[in-house]
Structures are given as C-alpha cells and as structure tokens.
Structure 1
Amino acid sequence: MNRPALLTLALLCGPSLFPTSATAIQTQTLARQTVQPQAAQTQATQTQAPELRPSRSLPVSAVYAGALAFSPDGRWLVTGGGEGLIQWWPVGGQSVEGQSGRGPSLRQPGAVTALAFSPDGSRLAAISGDGSVRVWAVQDRALLLTLDPETYYVTALAFSPDGLMLATAGGDNSAQASAANSVKLWNLASGRVQGSLRGHGDVVTSLAFSPDGKTLASGSRDRTVRLWDVAGRLPLRTLGGTLGGHADYVSAVAFSPDGAALASGSWDGTARLWNVQDGRLQRELRAPGGPVEAVAFSPDGQRLLTGAQDGRARLWNAQSGAPIAVLGGHSDGVKALAFSPDGRTAAAAGGRDRRALLWSLPASLR
C-alpha cells in the first residue's frame, strides 16, 4: 500500500465513546435533556443562515485537492494536489501570463497533503507522499531543505512565528507508540531536529503555534488537544479527554490571532473553542455536516471557519457561537481551509472533487 493511501486509512479510524455504567448512562441521559434542545436550535439556525456560492473555482488536480495556503502578502493562493503538483494562483489583482490565469508551479514526489508559508512569505513547506517534508524558496521555487522525520507518513506541519523552526508530526504504525506519535521541532538553519514532544497516545493529526511562538498545540487521534511549552519541550496541559473533550479523534487545531483561544475540529462532528489560559471549554459548535476536518480563524479573530465532510464550510461568530453563513459548492469533504490576510476571501480544498473554491465575503459577514 502506498503512503498516501496509508495516510488516508490512518486518519479514518477512530473509536466512539459509549457509557459503561448506570451512572454514565444516567449522566448521558441528563446531558441529552439539557443539551439537545440547544443543539436542535443551533441546527435550525444554521439552516436559515445564508448560503454563499463560490466566486471562483480552481482546478487543482486530476486526482485530489488536499492542501492550500494564502501567501502572507495576499497576492497568491497556493494549492497542493494528489499527483504532487503545487500550483500558485493569483488572487491579489496582479496579472500573470500562462494558461487559465495560473501562476508558477512545482512538483514533488507523492500527494501534497499540507502546505504552510513561513511568516515572511519567503519559504513554502509541503508534506510529500514519500514521507518527507520539503521546504522551497518562494522567489525561484528552489528546493532548500528535505526533512526526513523517519516516519512512514507525515500528517501535519507548522512554522513558528519567527520562521526559525518547523514542527512536524507523523506516524509509522510502530510498536513504540511514544516515538511514533511524537512531534518533532526542526531548526531550519541546520535542517536538524532540535527537540521532540511526546505524550499523545495515538497519531498526531494537527499542529499550530501560538502567535507569540511560546506554545504549540497538537491534536491527535487519541481525542485530545495538548499544549506544549516550546522552549522547555514540556507539556502544559491537555484539553479534553473523557470529561468535556471530543468523542472522536481531533483532526484540526488553530489559535486565535490574539492567542487567547484555541479552536479544535473533530470527527465527532463538532468544533470546540477553548480558553488557552485555563484550558476550559468555552463553546461547542455543531452543525449537520459530519466530521469537522478543518478550522481557521479570521485575521481579526471575530469569525471561525469550519470545514466538514458534507462538502460545506461554515462561518461562525467566534465570540457568540452564532452561525453566520454556509459556504457551499464542494461535492466532497472540505480538507483544508484558509482566510485571505485581509479577511475578505475564504478558500477551501475539496478532496476528491479536485477543486479549490473561493468565496468573496460580503462586508456584512466579515
């Protein structure tokens, strides 16, 4: 089985939680009595939220559209496809030569499953289906580094805010779970691992640095989100678990721009907002869409985008949890999400529908 197929299988497994005692059943029944009316109201409101049609459709791949990222200057959207193609698309008003308004491109081995720009926009990191991470120079698309995490597949990456470090996570189905489920911190000047973070009980699926770079968040198939002290390489706290946490594996994490809140998305069909300071759950967002596979905050932190398996992205008020709009158009699940740096455009990659869609967000919804 090839690595992209193995990665897909690895991320599609997640046991559900069931009550195992009379007390647990009684507690769950009481929770249903108090929570379900509120959930029903949320779903009813969600169906009344306006549905926006995409303003642009980009043919990312002949196979699979699994990754995207806006450049920090807002001029480009970069997408990654199942055949290893990384494509630049002009979105900031500049004109380009070539076919269908495409910009530059490059190709790497295997499917591209995640992309991230360095904060200054000079480098682009990409997960490759051959089990490596490649770092490219944006100006001339020269290969700068090939990082080998020594895992069979890589699931997540994130640049530190100062651009000096790259965090990666992956898995290899090793019997040594602590090693297989670790997060590696790379020094980008040397291309070497400068530290590892261990503690998750299953594969780490998602990573995000806090805006000040002091904290790293990791989401895992063990249903938890962990916060780490980057400098000390030490765990700070675990969000979730059996009490108040996700009921299935965590697929996405994102910090708010001010670093005060953390959003997590899960295959339990919810997105959750956490207080970073004390680890408390602030809000649960649920909509009829199945597993939540991607989350993203708007640049001002007032809005949250969630992407679900039903092919829709949903825009929420990050403060109140009220649904604002539904972004439709994909025929497969949303695999990646991003806001443009000015917050006026949202983008989503649609997996097997092989496209990336862009929505222009009206001022009233921003």
Structure 2
Amino acid sequence: MSGLNEKAPFELIEPQWRVVGDDYITALAWSPDGSTLAAASVGGPILLLAGETGGVVHELPGHGLGTLALDWSCDGRWLASGGQDGKARVWDAGTGAEAMVLDGGSGWVEHVAWSPRGDLLASAAGKFVKLWKNDGELCRVYGDHASTVTGLAWLRDGRRLATACYGGVKLWRIDAVQAKKHFQWKGSFLSLSLSPNDEHLAAGCQDDSLLVWNVKTAKNVGMSGYPGKISLLNWDASSRYLASGADREAVLWNFSGPGPANREPFVLSRHIDRIADLRFHPKRDVLATVGQDGMLILWNIPEGIMKDLCILKNPLTRLAWSPQGNMLGVGSAEGEVCLLSVR
C-alpha cells in the first residue's frame, strides 16, 4: 500500500457554533435542504439543530434505550430513526411530533433508510428487513437472512434494495419476497456501501478484508491486509474512489478505468487513535475523517492532506457534510455537536 504526499495546510475551515449535550453522539444527518442538522445520542434524545445558528429547533424524545440511526426523507418532511427499543420511529420535522411508531420485528433497529423516491422506508432489526409505506403501512418483510442484517443500501431507482449479513449480500425487488440476486460469501460483514452509479457493492468483513461486487456481473474483487475489521465505507460522488476505515488508517481504492485490481491503494495515515467516521465531500475530491484522538482531518484526494484540526479534547464519533458541502457537522463521545464552515 502506498501513502499520499503531504501538502501544506491552508485555511478553509472556520468554527461556527457548538452545542453541548450530555451523551455519546451516535448519528448525524442533514436535512436535504441543508437547513437542519439532526443529532442522535446513545441516551435516546434527538436534537434538530438550525444549521446557521445551532439553535435547537426541536428536541425529540427518540428511543428510550438509545437511538442508533437517522435518515431524512428526500423532501425533508420526515425524519426516521431506529433504536434499541426495537422500533423505527418517524418524526414530523416541521412540528417535532412523532408521526409513526413501527415495529422492527426483533431486537434493536440498527438501520433505517428512505427510498430515493421517498415513498418507502426500510428498517433492519435482527434478521428482519421491513418495508413501510410513508403512511406507516407494512408492505413487505424480508426475513430470509442467515444472521443480523448489518447494512442497507437503496439503488437509485428506489425499487431495489441491498442487504448484508453473514453469507453475503442480497439484492431485493420491492415487488417480490425472494431475493433477485445473492452475492455469496462465507463470512460476516460489518458494513455495506453502494456506489452512487449503482455499479459496485462494497462490504467490510469481520476478517479484516474488503469485498466489492459488480452489481451486473456479480464478479467480485477482494482486498486484504487491513489492520482491523472494516466498519467504515464511503464512496465519493463520482463513484471513482472508495474509502474504507480500519483502526487508525483510511485506505482509498481507485475504481476508475481498470479498477483496483493490481493497483496499489492510497493509505491515509495521520490519526493516532482509531478512526470513528469518514465521509467524502458531496461535490469535491475531499475526504473527511474523525477519530478517537479528537482530530478532524480533511484529505485532498489524491494529493494529500489539506487541513487537520484538533477541534475537541474528547473522542469524536460522527461527521456529516451538508448537502451543499459548505458545512461540516461533527459529534463527540461527550455529546457535543460542532459545526464548521468550509469556504
């Protein structure tokens, strides 16, 4: 694996506001118009924060045993959440009222995802994935999973859904109860990410390796040699780069042209403790990483480091780019949420 050349940092980041909570931030999600940042905590409550000021628009009770996941509908009207109470909940973002309580079917609801069309919500709890209409009606249950579902990803048409669990990745059609495709693999997965162009499905493995399937041909390529389990995956907007995180390193694979086969990846090494989250800028070749070392690092891809900041003394847990890419929300293990503007 090769490294990136370091560039001299230059000023692009300005702190805007900080909101101090009281518990570990488990999820951050921007509304589609970039006006509101939702922040969930392990204790359960969800804050809806005004992007410009950090003011609390609504404080939602969330999930009493802890909130694990957030996702906005494409029109920004609804915010879905999943939690350790075995429920998926849908909130009216305008009023802050709880609009729906949906039974996940088993244990924790670890994943919620609105379809690109906004007409369906997928929830994953244990071995069950359920599809709900936006009025709360249950329209499909996918129970044919060998173990706990560890990832959900909608394809762009909003009519196909990928799920990951032990034994591989399955591709489902919303009008059928049987999987359309099964990308088999003898192993367990921790993460799932679909490239924006719908061409590749990436899954991070328990055995410190990464698998990527071509959606059309079902051919796969495997990458190994990671320093730990791969729980973090994210594609850039062009589907050229896949970033993967394990321990203190982010590893970047290039899928342009012939793809990553026989091509050395970039290894991004600067954190001194485990990377907690990584996200590409929505419009530029810039990757943001945050870690338990309290560091936020912006990497200019593929040249090297743009800027690194120690923004908090306590470990960082989550980050989220605004849809326009001009704001970056960061959450911490102590419940703090910071907003940085990126000019």
* TM-score of Structure 1 vs Structure 2, range by shorter chain: 0.7 to 0.9
Task: Show CA shifts across 1:232-286 (max 9, x none).
Answer: 7x95424422xxx42201121111111122111112x111111236244531101
1:80 aligns with 2:40: yes
Paired with 2:119 and 2:208, the residues of 1 have a C-alpha distance of 30
C-alpha contact 1:157 1:206 (8 A) present in aligned 2: no
Paired with 2:125 and 2:198, the residues of 1 have a C-alpha distance of 21
SS in structure 2 opposite 1:294? strand
C-alpha contact 1:327 1:359 (8 A) present in aligned 2: no
C-alpha contact 1:53 1:328 (8 A) present in aligned 2: no
Q: CA deviation at 1:225?
A: 3.1
1:107 aligns with 2:61: yes
Change (3 A) 1:184 1:345: closer
Task: Show CA shifts across 1:54-79 (max 9, x none).
Answer: 331112x3222221111110101110
Change (3 A) 1:112 1:182: closer
Q: CA deviation at 1:87?
A: 1.0
- Give the unaligned 5+ runs of structure 2: 128-144, 162-172
SS in structure 2 opposite 1:79? strand
State the AA in 2 paired with 1:313.
L
Q: CA deviation at 1:182?
A: 5.6
Alignment of 1:321-360 (within 5 A): 322-351=304-333, 353-360=334-341
Paired with 2:270 and 2:80, the residues of 1 have a C-alpha distance of 32
Q: CA deviation at 1:354?
A: 1.2
Given the two structures, how large is their TM-score scaled by the length of structure 1?
0.69
Q: CA deviation at 1:332?
A: 2.7
- Higher helix content, 1 or 2: 1
Equivalenced residues, count: 304
C-alpha contact 2:44 2:67 (8 A) present in aligned 1: yes
SS in structure 1 opposite 2:231? strand
- Give the unaligned 5+ runs of structure 1: 1-30, 94-99
Aligned position for 1:256: 236
The percent identity for this pair of structures is 26
1:315 aligns with 2:302: no
State the AA in 2 paired with 1:207.
L
Alignment of 1:275-290 (within 5 A): 275-276=254-255, 278-280=259-261, 281-290=264-273
Paired with 2:260 and 2:313, the residues of 1 have a C-alpha distance of 36
SS in structure 2 opposite 1:335? strand
1:70 aligns with 2:30: yes
SS in structure 1 opposite 2:316? coil
Paired with 2:178 and 2:87, the residues of 1 have a C-alpha distance of 17
- Higher strand content, 1 or 2: 2
Paired with 2:301 and 2:322, the residues of 1 have a C-alpha distance of 17
